[in-house]
A and B are shown apart, each in its own frame.
Chain A
Amino acid sequence: MTIDPTDIPRYAGGSRVPGWDDAADLSKDPAGIPDPAQTPVPDDLRAEIEELMTRYPERRSAAIPALYAVQNRYGWCTPQGVEQAACVMRLTPGYLTAVATFYDMLETKPVGRNNVYVCTNISCSLCGADELLAALREELGEDPDVNLRGFECLGACDIAPMASVNGEYVGPITLDEVPELARQIRAGQEPLPAKQLRLRPSADPKVNAG
């Protein structure tokens, strides 16, 4: 097989490497710890992050919880929100951004407010998770309110194929339940109430024998 170099797509700026098109502006100094006098932080956000910091021997440990607080407030880790958290935690925004980009559940781009994760790892895909994700994408893919993504591994292989709808585990989901599930997600209702993991009894026959 020969490769035609002109076929390889280029990103903005002429680079062939993804990620370089939105690289940092090297002509600027990196942002320092934000000045509290010039960084307005909403009082409740400040109080929440300050409370989180008291739980740990070192305040830096509150980085992930603080970014969750930002994400809950703004929908994703917005540059402004990260700067506010950095101001309260006395860290640089760059440090918190580095943390946010490491973790899958911290969003660094705007996303829909309903998180729908479909597990597509081995056990789930053996049971048809890829088809489930495709069907859900068909139903919900265009919806700007929904953050639908394949996610590995959600740790619920016993209810494969499954999805986590705003943290609520549901499964096993059959393909004909997909329209119903999509409707419930859009309407903000409980997803498939009869199939939620929290109601599921243990599978071990010896446990429930008495």
Chain B
Amino acid sequence: MTDILLFKDIDEPDLHTLPVYERRGGYHQLRAALGTPRDQLIASLKGSGLRGRGGAGFSMGMKASFLPQGTMQKYVVVNADESEPGTFKDRELMQKNPHQLIEGIVIAAYAVDATKSFIYIRGEYVHQADVLDAAIAEAYAAGHLGENVHGSGFDCSLVLHRGAGAYICGEETGLLDSLEGKRGNPRLKPPFPANQGLFQGPTLINNVETLSTIPHILELGFETYAAIGVKNSSGTKLVSVSGNVRHPGNFEIELGMKSRDIIYGLAGGPPEGREVKFWFPGGSSSPVLTPDDLDLPYDFDSLAQSGSMLGSGAIIVVDDSQSVVDVCLKLAKFYAHESCGKCTPCREGTNWTVKMLRRVQDGTATPMDLDIMASVQERIIGNCLCVLGDAMAMPVGSMIAKFRGEFEQHIETARAANEAQALSGALA
């Protein structure tokens, strides 16, 4: 089947070890790539239409082509910080098939002529980091990494760097600062990392899933890969489905699959007797969609047209037993905690949104507060160095817009309950 690439034989015992990976044809694409001219490799990546799988969905080949030519020290950085709530696809890839990732890294490093590469893995993934450490050691011993890889004259070092628990380090420039040993504050862009990234050198920074796809693109040929999926969204995508579904987990789909088939078909839909109330199509940062949108094709353009985004490919399903106010508060609290504090609109906006939502929850808000809250979201979006603030503002704004009635009703119910309690207190 063509729509299983990244997850092919993922549960094969010991796939994470080098002998098993090589027996399945692993590292053949690396050997072939090392004999291919660099611009031809980048042209293949561009031609494949592969879009970044981390969230922004930028063309991977374009990004690689932005790195300047020349003899300066260049870097490849792998974003394995996967901290977007609802996302857990990279975890499974790294734990079960680390060599696929390493092969992709070395090919990408060769394509952009970067001799030093780093994997920034989030600190919580202890087991996955151990697996990767062992795999990197195996790859060095077998000559897939290190000096003069397979006699090509190309050197490639790879270092695994463990983070220490910060959502913001999944933002590419925050990650670079963190990798340089600083607090993970995002940087002003431009300059973009392709020109000035890690240690001020040109840096290619990509998500685990994006890099893991590269060996498959070369194996299939980029034309064949580009034919999978739909226009502007080629290839397969790992989707992580979680929340109120019967079979949560990672599924590899061909882009353009109907969202209903993912949620109901693969993940089993909401529990018995429940209906989908709303769903996040691309991690908790994406504006929510309603059951009316379930027939949307799951690809970058269709979700963007519906006012949301594909993001990291994490579908969170919320069923009709849940309160939208609780979900909204939970979400805002997370972003308020994770805001790095560098830009005022995000630092203050996330905190004030939490305070206002608390008022909504305990019944001391008025419906006018909902308008104020919506205006706060508008003032965050686009006004910060990175999109963390936007990542709170967009879903919160969409929840208020789509479920305003429920927010108002919640305020009214909680207020009435408070008054009744105060009255009974006064009478007692």
Number of B residues near A (Cβ < 8 Å) is 70
Query: Are B7 and A207 touching (Cβ within 8 A)?
Result: yes
Query: Are B159 and A154 touching (Cβ within 8 A)?
Result: no
Q: Which residue of A lies closest to B268 (CB)?
A: A203
Given A123-B316, A158-B240: A153 and B248 within 8 A (CB)? Answer: no
Given A60-B180, A103-B163, A205-B266: A123 and B249 within 8 A (CB)? Answer: no
How far is it, in angstroms, between the C-alpha of A61 and the C-alpha of B181 when the chains are bound? Answer: 4
How far is it, in angstroms, between the C-alpha of A152 and the C-alpha of B127 when the chains are bound? Answer: 18
Digitize B113-127: 1 where CB-to-A-CB distance is under 8 Å, 0 elsewhere.
000100000111111
Interface residues of A in 116-138 (CB under 8 A from B): 117, 120-123, 125-127
How far is it, in angstroms, between the C-alpha of A117 and the C-alpha of B266 when the chains are bound? Answer: 29
Query: Are B116 and A203 touching (Cβ within 8 A)?
Result: no
Q: Which of A57, A98, A104 contacts B116 (CB 8 A)?
A: A57
Query: Are A58 and B85 touching (Cβ within 8 A)?
Result: no
Query: Are B182 and A63 touching (Cβ within 8 A)?
Result: yes
Q: Which residue of A lies closest to B280 (CB)?
A: A122
Task: Say if the beta carbon of B199 comes within 8 Å of chain A.
Answer: yes
Query: Are A207 and B337 touching (Cβ within 8 A)?
Result: no
How far is it, in angstroms, between the C-alpha of A122 and the C-alpha of B164 when the chains are bound? Answer: 21
Q: Which of B248, B252, B331 contacts A206 (CB 8 A)?
A: B252
Q: Which residue of B lies closest to A198 (CB)?
A: B127
Which residues of B lie under 8 Å from residue A198 when comparing CB positions?
Answer: 95, 127
Given A153-B334, A160-B242, A204-B251: A105 and B7 within 8 A (CB)? Answer: no
Task: Say if the beta carbon of A33 comes within 8 Å of chain B.
Answer: no
B91, B181, B243 — most chain A CB neighbours (10 Å): B181
Task: Say if the beta carbon of B134 comes within 8 Å of chain A.
Answer: no
Task: Say if the beta carbon of A76 comes within 8 Å of chain B.
Answer: no
Given A155-B87, A158-B248, A203-B248: A122 and B240 within 8 A (CB)? Answer: no
Which residues of B lie under 8 Å from residue A104 when comparing CB positions?
Answer: 164-166
Digitize A57-97: 1 where CB-to-B-CB distance is under 8 Å, 0 elsewhere.
11111111101100000000000000000000000000000
Which residues of B lie under 8 Å from residue A203 when comparing CB positions?
Answer: 247-251
Digitize B241-257: 1 where CB-to-A-CB distance is under 8 Å, 0 elsewhere.
01110011111100000
Query: Are B184 and A102 touching (Cβ within 8 A)?
Result: yes
Query: Are B242 and A61 touching (Cβ within 8 A)?
Result: no
Query: Are A157 and B248 touching (Cβ within 8 A)?
Result: yes
Task: Say if the beta carbon of A28 comes within 8 Å of chain B.
Answer: no
How far is it, in angstroms, between the C-alpha of A106 and the C-alpha of B178 when the chains are bound? Answer: 14
Task: Say if the beta carbon of A27 comes within 8 Å of chain B.
Answer: no
How far is it, in angstroms, between the C-alpha of A209 and the C-alpha of B170 when the chains are bound? Answer: 34
Query: Are A123 and B86 touching (Cβ within 8 A)?
Result: yes
Task: Say if the beta carbon of B272 comes within 8 Å of chain A.
Answer: no
Task: Say if the beta carbon of B358 comes within 8 Å of chain A.
Answer: no
Stretch from A9-17, A35-43, A163-171, A185-193 contacting the other chain: A163-171
Query: Are A204 and B266 touching (Cβ within 8 A)?
Result: yes
Digitize B324-341: 1 where CB-to-A-CB distance is under 8 Å, 0 elsewhere.
001100110010011010
How far is it, in angstroms, between the C-alpha of A104 and the C-alpha of B88 when the chains are bound? Answer: 19
Q: Which residue of A lies closest to B244 (CB)?
A: A126
How far is it, in angstroms, between the C-alpha of A208 and the C-alpha of B178 when the chains are bound? Answer: 38
Query: Are A206 and B4 touching (Cβ within 8 A)?
Result: yes
Task: Say if the beta carbon of B390 comes within 8 Å of chain A.
Answer: no
Interface residues of B in 2-30 (CB under 8 A from A): 3-4, 7-11
A14 nearest CB across to chain B (Å): 23
Task: Say if the beta carbon of A6 comes within 8 Å of chain B.
Answer: no
Task: Say if the beta carbon of A5 comes within 8 Å of chain B.
Answer: no
Q: Which residue of B lies closest to A101 (CB)?
A: B183
How far is it, in angstroms, between the C-alpha of A152 and the C-alpha of B163 when the chains are bound? Answer: 15
Query: Are A208 and B331 touching (Cβ within 8 A)?
Result: no
B161, B242, B252 — most chain A CB neighbours (10 Å): B242
Given A102-B166, A207-B4, A207-B10: A155 and B125 within 8 A (CB)? Answer: yes
How far is it, in angstroms, between the C-alpha of A141 and the C-alpha of B163 when the chains are bound? Answer: 27
B267 nearest CB across to chain A (Å): 8
Which residues of B lie under 8 Å from residue A197 when comparing CB positions?
Answer: 127
How far is it, in angstroms, between the C-alpha of A119 and the C-alpha of B68 when the chains are bound? Answer: 42
Which residues of A lie under 8 Å from residue B31 when comparing CB positions?
Answer: none
Task: Say if the beta carbon of A201 comes within 8 Å of chain B.
Answer: yes
Query: Are B243 and A202 touching (Cβ within 8 A)?
Result: no
Query: Are B123 and A105 touching (Cβ within 8 A)?
Result: yes
Which residues of B lie under 8 Å from residue A68 when comparing CB positions?
Answer: 162, 164
Task: Say if the beta carbon of A156 comes within 8 Å of chain B.
Answer: yes
Query: Are A103 and B364 touching (Cβ within 8 A)?
Result: no
B78 nearest CB across to chain A (Å): 15
Q: Which of B126, B266, B316 contacts A167 (CB 8 A)?
A: B126
Digitize B170-182: 1 where CB-to-A-CB distance is under 8 Å, 0 elsewhere.
0000000011111
Interface residues of B in 76-105 (CB under 8 A from A): 82-88, 91-92, 95-96
Which residues of B lie under 8 Å from residue A153 when comparing CB positions?
Answer: 83-86, 167, 284, 334
Task: Say if the beta carbon of B322 comes within 8 Å of chain A.
Answer: yes
Query: Are A122 and B243 touching (Cβ within 8 A)?
Result: yes
B264 nearest CB across to chain A (Å): 14
Query: Are B85 and A158 touching (Cβ within 8 A)?
Result: no
Q: Which of A126, A152, A204 contacts B318 (CB 8 A)?
A: A126
Task: Say if the beta carbon of A1 comes within 8 Å of chain B.
Answer: yes
Given A104-B166, A122-B330, A207-B7: A202 and B88 within 8 A (CB)? Answer: no
Query: Are B251 and A103 touching (Cβ within 8 A)?
Result: no
Query: Are A122 and B316 touching (Cβ within 8 A)?
Result: yes
Chain A residues proximal to chain B, CB less than 8 Å: 1, 55-65, 67-68, 98-99, 102-106, 117, 120-123, 125-127, 151-160, 164, 167-169, 197-198, 201-208
**8 shortest A-B CB distances, which residue pairs?**
A203-B249, A167-B126, A157-B242, A104-B165, A103-B164, A63-B181, A60-B181, A105-B165
